[in-house]
Chains A and B, each alone.
Chain A
Amino acid sequence: MKATTPHGFVYTEPEDYPNFARQLQALADSVDTAIAADDSETIVLSEPIAYGATLTTSGVTANFDWEIAPDNPPEYDLGGGILLNPDGYPAIVSSGWYLIGAYASFIPSGTITANSAYTLELHLHNANTYPPVVTEYRMRDFLPSSAFSGGAGAQVEVEQAVGISQGSFISIVLRHTNTASTVDVTGAFWLRRIGPGTVII
């Protein structure tokens, strides 16, 4: 009668008087399988998937949500674990916890309206229900007047750790309230898988 150790190593009870060679083979195979399973788990846990892409858009008008996608390929995508959707949005292909982040530099093409606000948002979508937005994280900068443009405009960065289900994806949304000028935007997007976890969307 076969029995197993807590790690799944197979052995045969002595009273069954089995073929000793087969006992050894069963033991060797079970140890081999158990170690291979642990080895693959170690690789998954230690293998963050990182993705860095840049984004550019121009002529962003005031008081309108601009949903934009990276326009350059990733700098780094270990194992090709993250794919771009056909529409350009970064797609998550395996469930888990991710650290996601984005950066946008808003450069007004003209005058800065007093008390202009510049908003960068990360939107998490369920693949089957786009739209609506499921979850969002946002950062907002505020420039009071053209005296603070300084050639730098508004610079906004946001990041958040989130649990994501397979097939869900992230989009980047820009908005500003500068009614005196359109805005040109450059930025970056990155994410890194930090481990398996409970799916929240």
Chain B
Amino acid sequence: MGGSTNNYSFPYPYADEVVGASDVQDLAQAIDTTLTNWNAEVKALHTQQLAMVAAVSTPTSIPLNTTVNPAYDTVVWDPNGIVNLGADNQHLHVPSGLYWVTGAVGILSSFTENAVRLSIIRNGTAVVRQRIFFPSSDPVNVRVAANVYMSAAGQINLSCLINGSGGPFNVYGRLGVVRLRGPEDI
């Protein structure tokens, strides 16, 4: 019968006790158990992070003055097998958590004067938008990024709106979603 440490209850004998090999073994096993549990927690911390990237690799046509959700045709990286473009090629369906979301589109069609608005949409509502005006006829690129909190499982997507003149426009793009914190931490 001895004492134990403050944080992890490692056992040790009192000074007036007879010390045997079992005391050393008990201490060694308690430390081993603590480190094993700790390693499991650290591993869980790393593996809870999901990353998904979907791309519009083949340019899709977007008309003027119409908000369009780009349809993805390629899964770039999805280590947890979350993306299912066959079931829904416009949204990434994610579990609850805090996410770092980035999106970008490129517009190949030339035009004279246009404004391009790119939005990150959470469950149908815009979280953040970027609208850029382009006066020249060169192809254009717009990007947007935000922390996005999902209080429950839901969907994240991009939407693109082109105002000005001309069209339809050939658009390609990419949507990346990285989970920073899992639901177990919220």
Interfacial residues, chain A to chain B (CB-CB below 8 A):
19-22, 24-25, 27-29, 31-33, 35-36, 39, 42, 46, 48, 50, 52, 75-76, 78, 99, 101, 103, 105, 141-144, 147-148, 150, 152-157, 159, 188, 190-192
How many A-B residue pairs have C-beta atoms within 8 angstroms? Tell me.
Answer: 134
Can you show 30 pairs from A to B with CB atoms below 8 A apart? A19-B15, A21-B12, A21-B19, A25-B12, A28-B10, A29-B6, A31-B10, A48-B98, A50-B98, A50-B149, A50-B180, A50-B181, A75-B149, A75-B151, A76-B186, A78-B181, A78-B186, A101-B146, A103-B128, A103-B129, A143-B133, A144-B113, A147-B163, A152-B117, A154-B131, A157-B146, A188-B128, A188-B146, A190-B147, A191-B147
Q: Is B68 located at the chain interface by the 8 A CB criterion?
A: no
Q: Which secondary structure dominates chain A's binding surface?
A: mixed
**CA–CA, A88 and B10, complex, Å:** 47
Contact between A22 and B131, CB atoms less than 8 A apart: no
0 or 1 for each of B116-135: is its CB under 8 Å from A? (1 = yes) = 01010000000111111101
**CA–CA, A53 and B76, complex, Å:** 31
Q: How many residues of B contact A (CB 8 A)?
A: 53
Of B17, B23, B38, B115, the residue contacting A148 (CB under 8 A) is B115
**CA–CA, A157 and B147, complex, Å:** 12
| Nearest A residue (CB) for B134 | A142
**CA–CA, A22 and B12, complex, Å:** 8
Q: Is B167 located at the chain interface by the 8 A CB criterion?
A: no
Most buried by A among B6, B16, B131, B163: B131
Given contacts A103-B129, A141-B133, A157-B144, contact A24 B24 (CB under 8 A): yes
Q: Which residues of A contact B11 (CB under 8 A)?
A: 28
Interfacial residues, chain B to chain A (CB-CB below 8 A):
2-8, 10-17, 19, 23-24, 27, 31, 34-35, 38, 42, 45, 65, 98, 100, 113, 115, 117, 119, 127-133, 135, 144-147, 149, 151, 161, 163-164, 180-181, 185-186
Contact between A50 and B130, CB atoms less than 8 A apart: no
**CA–CA, A143 and B133, complex, Å:** 6
Q: Which residues of B contact A48 (CB under 8 A)?
A: 98, 180-181
**CA–CA, A153 and B133, complex, Å:** 11
Contact between A46 and B45, CB atoms less than 8 A apart: yes
Contact between B146 and A39, CB atoms less than 8 A apart: no
Contact between A155 and B131, CB atoms less than 8 A apart: yes
Q: Which residues of A contact B31 (CB under 8 A)?
A: 31, 35
Q: Which residues of A contact B3 (CB under 8 A)?
A: 25
Q: Which residues of B contact A103 (CB under 8 A)?
A: 127-129, 146
Contact between A21 and B145, CB atoms less than 8 A apart: no
| Nearest B residue (CB) for A22 | B15
What's the least CB distance linking A97 to chain B, in Å? Answer: 14
What's the least CB distance linking A125 to chain B, in Å? Answer: 22
Contact between A35 and B149, CB atoms less than 8 A apart: no
